[in-house]
Amino acid sequence: MPVEMIDVIQICSVCRSDLGTFSEKKENLMLSAVDYIWCENCRVTVPAFRDIAKREASVAKEVESYPRSL
């Protein structure tokens, strides 16, 4: 069985800029972990949160497929 890898984005909790990405095995994925990473925009080490790459695009695509209300 092939291992499914998920791309994860680390996002600054202050300015919401992307700080980095990494790939993780689906069964080892922990989105709730707290990372402290240097943010170039804020010029300080900040807590970062994790999100699945391209998730926003897939949510927007799904919302567009909903029927329009009159």
Q: pLDDT over 70 for what percent of the chain?
A: 96
pLDDT digits (tens, 9 = 90+) for 33-65: 888 999 999 999 999 988 888 888 888 888 899
For residue 26, tell me if it sits in a domain.
Answer: yes
What is the domain extent for residue 23?
5-64
Q: pLDDT at residue 30 above 90?
A: no
CA gap 4, 13 in Å, rounded: 28
Give the total number of structural domains in the chain. 1
- Residue 69 falls within a domain, yes or no? no
Task: Note whether residue 70 is domain-resident.
Answer: no
Q: To the nearest whole percent, how much of the chain has pLDDT over 90?
A: 43
CA distance 22 to 17: 15
Q: Answer yes or no: is pLDDT of 20 > 60.
A: yes
Is residue 11 within 8 A of residue 49, CB to CB? The reply is yes
The two tokens of residue 4 are 């499914």
What pLDDT does residue 2 have?
A: 63
Does a structural domain hold residue 42?
yes
Rounded to whole angstroms, the Cα distance separating 7 from 26 reads: 9
